[in-house]
Amino acid sequence: MKSLVCSWRHSRLLWLVTLWLGVIFLAGFFHMNVNITSSYRVWRFSTKHLRPSYPQTNVMFLKTHKTASSTVMNILFRFAEKHNLTLALPAGQNHDLGYPHRFMAQFVEGFKTMGQSYNIMCNHMRFNLPEVRKVMPNTTTYFSIMRNPISLMESSYAYYSFFTPAFRRSKDVNEFLASPWTYYNMSEYRNNVHARNNMWYDFGYDNNAMDTEDYVQHVLVEIEQAFQLMLLTDYFDESMVLLKETLGWELDDVVYFKLNSRSQDTIKSMTPESKEKVKEWCSLDWKLYQHFNRTFWRRIQEIIGLEKLDQEVNLLRMRQKELMELCLLDPMPIDKTKIKNKKLKPFQSGRANILGYNLKEDMANETLRTCLRLITPELQYMSYLYARQFPEKNGKSTAFSLWRR
């Protein structure tokens, strides 16, 4: 009897131990599963950093203001033409996607009938992810560009000197920055977006918000989740190499001529005090820029490393030089008054004297097309592409028959 009880106790103990081991095993399994899932996420994320095996054609570029974004836009327009892609262009006579209002899907020409069948979106907008997602396919790569807020402020001041009330009231950028609250009125909110934390605003956030650690952290995380790549104006050529690698594009796809640049006499030198003041006055942009400057260089290390980056940048510059020699009459961008073909004059604004180009004469047809695409200012290029994509609609007011000769 004792042995029976004993063996019964034994088997109960055995059963309990088995159950216990089972529980530990299952817990371990689930724990491992969680780890597998999270490392899978990390793995999946990091494969995004590898060069895709075929060129990505679904691309959303948030065109921030005064950040070399028109040069990037020209690259995207040329790529769209080369691959016969569909652009998400501003509806009707508009030249941007509803800026300074938050983007809405209906700001895109043809959205109601075309739904998510666009490939490239790159006009100015105030970013609004849920609405952008209604227009762009799920496979879209999102990227944008940021500039050091100090030089950005100087550029914005010149370009928006008449448009932005805070700038209009001050004599120059140094006077404005010496006492910004004297000129900046919160009630003129939307007209003043270029005067304070303009990048923060373009990404869809409140450019007058309180700069607190939690808030900034929250926004940085949101932007990182929405955008796969952040470029830097201040390292434009390095950015082009990174863009080409991220999208699986060719070198020629990202070769460019600098667009929307200013004459030297409209560039104001900023005092050391003004430069320091920008970091405080635009502290949200300053933090944004610092953060994405760090992620930019980390990404360079991950994808190509500094040595290969140098080689690629050299190749890009050599090809750029080659094309400049092939296409351009003058070795540098020229004053607007010297542009022979008035249809190629870039849009002028404020105190900025925006430069342009003259093409060499007597080029063969195909070369002429290549060169024209490289120097065509954004409004003219957009009008041309709009007319091509929507031949049944009235063209945009700046429509030129550049390619019909």
Ligand X SMILES: Nc1ncnc2c1ncn2[C@@H]1O[C@H](COP(=O)(O)OS(=O)(=O)O)[C@@H](OP(=O)(O)O)[C@H]1O
CB of 270 to ligand X, least distance (A): 12
For 240-260, letters b (16+ CB in 10 Å) and e give bbbbbbbbbbeeebbbbbebb
Q: How far is the CB of 378 from ligand X (least distance, A)?
A: 7
CB of 69 to ligand X, least distance (A): 3
| CA–CA gap between residue 259 and residue 354 (Å, rounded) | 9
Instruction: Dig out the tokens for 184 from the structure.
Output: 């900046």
Site for ligand X in 219-238 (CB under 6 A): 233, 236
Order of strands across the sheet that contains 59-62? 120-121, 59-62, 141-146, 229-232
Least Cβ distance, residue 240 to ligand X (angstroms): 8
Decide: is 95 part of the binding site for ligand X (CB under 6 A).
Answer: no
Whether residue 100 is preceded by a cis peptide bond, meaning omega within 30 degrees of 0, is yes
* Matching residue, tokens 């635009």: 282
Q: Based on CB atoms, which residue is closest to ligand X, 91 or 173? A: 173
Site string for ligand X, 364-393 (x = CB under 6 A): ------------------------------
For ligand X, the closer CB: 64 or 140: 64
Does position 197 bind ligand X by CB under 6 A?
A: no
Which of residues 262 and 360 has its CB atom nearest to ligand X in the complex?
262
Contact 230, 143 (CB under 8 A): yes
Does position 398 interact with ligand X (CB under 6 A)? The reply is no
Q: Is 268 in the site for ligand X (CB under 6 A)?
A: no
Spatial neighbors of 201 by CB under 8 A, at least 6 apart, are 100, 126, 193, 207
Direct distance between the N- and C-terminal alpha carbons of the chain, in angstroms, rounded to an integer: 110
Q: Is 258 in the site for ligand X (CB under 6 A)?
A: yes
Q: Taking CB under 6 A as the rule, does residue 261 contact ligand X?
A: yes
**117: which strand partners?**
none
| Distance from C-alpha of 188 to C-alpha of 198, rounded to nearest angstrom | 14
Tokens of 395: 């063209």
Q: What string marks each residue from 39 to 78 as x (binds ligand X by CB under 6 A) or -?
A: --------------------------xxxxxxx-------
Give me the least distance between CB of 371 and ligand X, in Å please.
17
d(CA 223, CA 352): 31
Query: How big is the chain, counted in residues?
Result: 405
Decide: is 144 part of the binding site for ligand X (CB under 6 A).
no
CA distance 265 to 232: 25
Q: Indicate the residue among 341 and 349 with the shorter CB distance to ligand X.
A: 349
Q: How far is the CB of 233 from ligand X (least distance, A)?
A: 5
Nearer to ligand X, 216 or 328 (CB): 328
Query: Total binding residues for ligand X by CB under 6 A?
Result: 15
From candidates 133, 262, 275, 319, binder to ligand X by CB under 6 A: 262
Sole window of 131-139, 241-249, 252-260, 305-313 interacting with ligand X (rule: CB under 6 A): 252-260
Site string for ligand X, 291-320 (x = CB under 6 A): ------------------------------
Instruction: Mark 154-170 as b/e (b = at least 16 C-beta within 10 Å).
Output: bbbbbbbbeebbbbeeb
The window from 168-176, 255-263, 277-285, 296-304 that contacts ligand X (CB under 6 A) reads 255-263
- Give min distance, CB of 259 to ligand X, in A: 6
The C-alpha atoms of residue 401 and residue 21 are separated, in whole angstroms, by 78
Which residues, 6 or more positions from 210, have their beta carbon under 8 angstroms from its beta carbon?
none
Which residues, 6+ apart, have CB-to-CB distance to 126 below 8 Å? Answer: 98, 99, 100, 101, 102, 103, 201, 202, 204
Q: List contacts with ligand X (CB under 6 A).
A: 65-71, 155, 233, 236, 258-262
